[in-house]
Structures are given as structure tokens and as C-alpha cells.
Amino acid sequence: MPAYLFRNFSYITLSQAANYLIPLFTIPYISRTVGVDKFGILEYSYTLTLYFIQIVEYSFDITATRRMAVIAHRPVLVSRLYSTVFWSKIFLWVMGALVFAAMMVLKRQLHPYMPALLGYFAMTISFVFTQNWFFQGLQKLGAVALANVAIKLIFALLLFSLVKNESDYYLVAVSTSLGYLIVSAFVFRYSFRLMPELRLRFPGIRLVLKNLTSGFYVFAGGMANKVYALGGMYWAGLLLSGATLGFYGAAHKLYLVAQSMMFYPLHMTLLPHLAQKASEGITMYKKVLFKYIKWLVVPFTGAGVLLFLVSELVVKLLFGLEYRESIELFRWFIPSLVAGLFIHMFVYQAFIHLKKDDAHLKILLVMMVISVVGNYFAIRNFGAYGGAVFRSVMDAGYVLLAWRWVHLILRDKE
């Protein structure tokens, strides 16, 4: 393995370790200190903020990274790209801030969440200055990984220093944003040290708009996926309240952690390998794709069964005895994790390798609508359990829809 690949792999491993280990200390502290009700408020506020982060990040992690990989050795072109992305992000942040302000003023249901929402929204500013695509394009993943570790450590330090009782719950959001803002300032400055020839200038409105237009479909797909994935938590915040929202928020957070642990390594491992098989022909790709699916069904199903069996222990350790009701809620999310294997292999592997971005966007838009409408009726009529059950039912439908689409694509290519 080339030295730079080994270094990048090591940095990614370090970053993922921080993602999993530090929350083992911060989540129990937060859940026990602020209580069930405020924990639900924090989870909802953070979820809503993720939509605004998606707006600022737009599609640059894909479109700008691709472009950067081609022009990395030409500082003049890199400066133009860097400037264009930077000013595009400023424009997007302003648009997002206006929407956020309008929501705070016009939507009364959000008023109870305002302290936490304001605390988390400050974090979106950091994404204007964070240019991960720049470091990815230069194969300098160490900067990205170390920044992620620093954010987690600063957050933990501020959390344990500032949050002492339930009334301090909004300081969890403030601590999160401060971690991002501090690190983003250093990373922004480091990008100019890494490439001394780099210059930041205003590229002109026309170039900014062209940049946004060219990446719109990738952004639309990313936002549709975000709405689909987090639609349940969005409606939970508006339709549930008090401890019920807290129980749902805890189960949902545990579900997202399990999802990340199961699928991030799979994505990083199989994406380049299956891309190589796709270049060898559709017959070879189809054979290998379904071979891996058959191999992975058993361990992923086993992981689901194991999570079901240890869910009571995990919830008590991470959140405390006060969150007992989250145990059953989390168990209803588990079928979604098993279905996620097929969704990942069909949607996030096959559609990419077969270069079917149009089909990818269409299926994401369909599932986004199903998520928005279905979660609303499920949670409104059946509460937290309705949201958890609907997520698993929805993902089962996603599998069938994705399989049908992939089957047609493979048949047309053969």
C-alpha cells in the first residue's frame, strides 16, 4: 500500500474512533444532566440544523472535490475554485439564515426550541470556512480527520465545564457550535499555509451562480436524502412533546449511531472495489454485487438480532434508567438497519457505479415525499411508536423500489 494511502487510512480510522469513543462519555453526561424532556429538545434542534448545514455544504464535497483532483497542481485555478466555493457558501448561508429567521418568527411551534436552535445554528457559520473538499482533493485527509477529533475534544471540554444542570441544556448546543467555529478558523487559515500561492478573491456573481447551477442536481439529491432520513425526527419535534419526544430522540440517536457503525466501513471498503468490477463489464459487476449481498445478509441480520438482545443494556448504559421507554422504540428501528444493507448496496453502490444519477435522484425524491407524508400521519396518529415502526416499513418499501429500479437498469445494460 502506498505511504499516502496508509496515512489517509490511519487518519480516517482515528477520526472514526473519535466519533464513537468520545460520545461514550458525552452522551451519558448529557442525557443524565439535562433530563429526558430537554434531551428531546436538543435532538430535534440538532436535526433541524442539519438541513441548514446541507444548504451551506450544497454539493461541494462531491463537485469541488472532483474538480480539485484535476487542477490541484495549478494554483491559479485552485484559487479561482476556492474563491468561488467560499463566496457561494456565503450566499447560501445568508439565504439559509433568512429562512431560519422566518421560521423562528412565523412558526410558533418552534418557539420552545429557540434557545437550542440558536445555539446550534451558529454552527452553520463554521461550514462557510470549512473547505473539506480542498483537503480531499489534495489527498490531505489528515487535516480533515484531525479537525474532526479537535471538534469532539473541544466540545467535550466545554460540555463538562459549562453544563451542570437541566437549565444549562442550551449550552450543549453552544458548546457544539463553539467547537466547530474554533476549529474551522484554524483549518481555514491552514489551507493558505498548505498552499502559499492560494488567493481568496471575489469571483463575480456570474461565476458564483454558475457554480451553484452546475451542482444543483447533486445538492437536490443530498437534500432529498436528508429529508428522507430525518423526516421522522422533524415531525416528532412538532407533534410530540415532553418526555415522549425525549424517548423518541434517544432511540433515534442510538439508531443513527448503529447505522453509522454498520454502513460507513461498508461504504468505504466496497465503493472502490465495486467500481473496479463495474469497469470490467456489467456481467462481472452483477455477479460480484449479488455475491456480496448474499455474504452480508447473515452478518447484518445477526447484528440486528444482537442489537435487539442488548438494546436494554445499551440504553441503560448510555442514557440511564429514566429512558426505559426508548428500549422498545429502538427495537422497532432495528428492521430498518437490516433493510439498510439492501438500500446501501442498491442505491449507494449500484446507482453510483452504473452512473445512473438521474435514477438516483428520482428514487430519492419519491422516498422523500413518502417520508414527509408518511411520518406525519404515523406520528400524529400513533405517536413515537408510529414513527419508529413507519421507519422500518418505509425502508422495506425502499428496498423493493430500489431493487426494481436496479433490476431494470441491469437488464437494459446486458
User: In b/e form, how buried is each residue of 358-370, taking b as 16+ CB within 10 angstroms?
Assistant: ebbbebbbbbbeb
- The DSSP-derived string for 315-329 is HHHHT-GGGTHHHHH
One-letter amino acid identity for 148?
N
Q: How confident is the model at residue 407 (pLDDT cuts 50, 70, 90)?
A: confident
Give pLDDT tens digits for 107-156. 989 999 999 999 999 999 999 999 988 988 787 877 888 898 999 999 99
Angle 163-30-117 from CA coordinates, rounded to 5°:
75
Distance of CA 52 to the CA centre of its chain: 12
Q: What is the residue-averaged pLDDT of the chain? A: 89
Cβ atoms within 10 Å, residue 195: 17
Task: Indicate the range of 154-163, 188-197, 258-267 predicted with least confidence.
Answer: 258-267
Q: What is the dihedral of CA 89, 90, 95, 101, to 10 degrees?
A: 120
In the three-class reduction of DSSP (H, G, I as helix; E, B as strand; rest coil), residue 1 is classed as coil
Q: What is the pLDDT of residue 135?
A: 87
pTM: 0.89
Give pLDDT tens digits for 267-299. 656 766 677 777 788 888 888 888 888 888 998
Q: Is the predicted pLDDT of residue 359 greater than 80, yes or no?
A: no
Q: Is the predicted pLDDT of residue 75 greater than 60, yes or no?
A: yes
Q: Is the predicted pLDDT of residue 8 greater than 70, yes or no?
A: no
**Rounded Cα gap, residues 351 and 355, in angstroms:** 6
Contact indicator for 303, 336 with CB cutoff of 8 Å: no
**Rounded Cα gap, residues 46 and 258, in angstroms:** 18
Q: What is the pLDDT of residue 1?
A: 45
